[in-house]
Amino acid sequence: STTLHGMEYSTHKFGSIALAVLPPTKTRTVLQPGSSPFPAAHCKTSWECVSRSARCCSSLPARLTVSYCRSSGPGGQHVNKVNTKAEVRFHLASADWIPEAVRQKMASMHRNKINRDGELIVNSEESRYQMRNLAICLEKIRTMVTEATETPKVVSKETTQKLIERVENMNRERLRQKKIHSNIKQSRKADFD
């Protein structure tokens, strides 16, 4: 436990990102340069980056808003007492750490995860541990950005032609086998005339 800006915090390391999780408060607005102007009214915990470098990857957690709540499912008394479900949100339109084209593609790919305020919401309750769920949320965001960054492969005309020929050959063979099977069944029928 260390002090930052006069507040005690605990440090957590996720890959190359070190995070300082500040103590819970009822409401806290997370406003960083380039972050969302929307207030995080229900936010219970905010992130600040331990290392103050100007690199994008280290300032990324400061632009996210995280909150915790109780998970569902089995676990007895423990699951009813502990806030282990993690929810990470950020305003997609003002996320300058993501290129504009990627943001637009993410908005179309994950429109069911964006609320009316334009915030992309990712949550996890896979683990019984709060920090693991937080790491899973960060990994989900990283995966979303990676998927939106990938460009579709350009298929050549030769490959398309080979695929069409292969499908036609498979259909011909299927119909031939069907005809053979039909002839076998016809030959089994007794003629009672």
Instruction: Output the pLDDT for position 61.
Output: 63
pLDDT at 16: 43
Q: What residues of the chain score a pLDDT lower than 70?
A: 1-61, 193
Query: Sheet containing 85-91: which strands, arranged edge to edge?
Result: 2-4, 7-14, 17-21, 45-49, 65-69, 85-91, 119-124
* Residue found under tokens 């993501």: 98
Quote the tokens at residue 93.
């339109």
- Residue tagged 């179309």 (tokens): 108
| Nearest residue to 91 via CA among 38, 46, 162 | 38
Q: What is the pLDDT of residue 59?
A: 54
- The predicted pLDDT at position 60 comes to 61
pTM of the predicted structure, to 2 decimals: 0.54
- Give φ, ψ of 82 to 5 degrees: -110, 135
Q: Could you tell me the CA-to-CA distances from 156 to 38, 73, 127, 152, 167 in Å, in that order?
A: 46, 49, 44, 13, 17
